[in-house]
Amino acid sequence: MDSYKIQGTAFPFFDAGMLISTGSLFYANLIWFGLLLLIGLAILRTGSIKEIIISVIGLATPIFIFSGFFYLAGKDMNSLLSAVTYNLFTKEIYYSIPTITLVVLIMSGLIILIAVAHLLSVINSKKIKSRKTFILFFWTFFIAASVAVLFKSVSAEIHYLTAIPVSYFLSHYFVFTKKKLLPEIMIAVLFVLAAVVQIANLVK
């Protein structure tokens, strides 16, 4: 969003690419959020080839530096490529969701749907920058959810990334809805549900 209305070349896309790529060195599946750079370019800019190249260079730089040190250290580059491929496509992670947690997630999902429906109903009345920001949050949520569904290598940590845009959707609803009683009940329910999950994990 720092690139919004920047005159000339928007270098924040390079910074964003660097951050995403650096994060992917620790959590490989974060690299899929590089798609958000291209989406951001389509939403915020006029589609400059130079800015697309800058974004790709930002994504490539940390990986290039890491690979360079790996090579200079005399390590096997094939093993590095195999590790990346394994973490992105081959590894299969299974994690079970306890029944109580599943119930809590379903109830939380209903609250999130209400918040999203409210946001969609008023998004066209938002100022341009606010509207574009929320559109980027929707894409962030969509990418995280899609990666979680499509790739068996994705662990439960992806849900923390999904929660970032969701927190903005909920906050918008709680602040801007005209009916104040329902949001107060909903946020109280969210706190109670979170407590229930924690207590259930302690006593099991």
Max avg pLDDT among 9-13, 28-32, 42-46, 152-156:
28-32
- Structural domain ending residue among the three candidates 90, 115, 146: 90
Torsion, Cα 43 29 143 170, to 10 degrees, reads -100
pLDDT of amino acid 114: 93
Q: Domain limits at 54? A: 12-90
* Domain shared by 76 and 103, yes or no: no
Q: Is residue 7 part of a domain?
A: no
Extract the tokens encoding 141: 């949520």
Q: Is residue 3 part of a domain?
A: no
| pLDDT tens, position by position, 36-75 | 999 998 898 876 888 899 999 999 999 999 999 988 988 8
What does each C-alpha distance from 122 to 126, 128, 184 come to in angstroms?
Answer: 7, 13, 20
- Structural domain ending residue among the three candidates 90, 108, 136: 90
First CA to last CA distance, the chain: 44
* Domain shared by 110 and 31, yes or no: no
* Domain shared by 103 and 181, yes or no: yes
Q: Is residue 1 part of a domain?
A: no
Residues 6 or more apart whose Cβ sits within 8 Å of residue 50: 9
Please provide the average confidence, as pLDDT, over all residues in the chain: 88
* Domain shared by 114 and 193, yes or no: yes
- Write down the pTM of the prediction: 0.85
Which residue bears the tokens 């709680």?
A: 174
Please, what's the b/e burial string for 164-194 (b: 16 or more CB within 10 A of its CB; e: otherwise)? ebbebbbebbbeebeeeeebeebeeebeebe
Taking alpha carbons only, the member of 192, 175, 133 closest to residue 5 is 133
* Domain shared by 110 and 198, yes or no: yes
pLDDT of amino acid 148: 86
| pLDDT tens, position by position, 157-188 | 888 889 999 999 999 999 998 888 888 898 89
* Domain shared by 104 and 184, yes or no: yes
Q: Is the pLDDT of residue 103 over 80?
A: yes
* Domain shared by 194 and 115, yes or no: yes
- Structural domain ending residue among the three candidates 31, 65, 90: 90
Q: Is residue 119 part of a domain?
A: yes
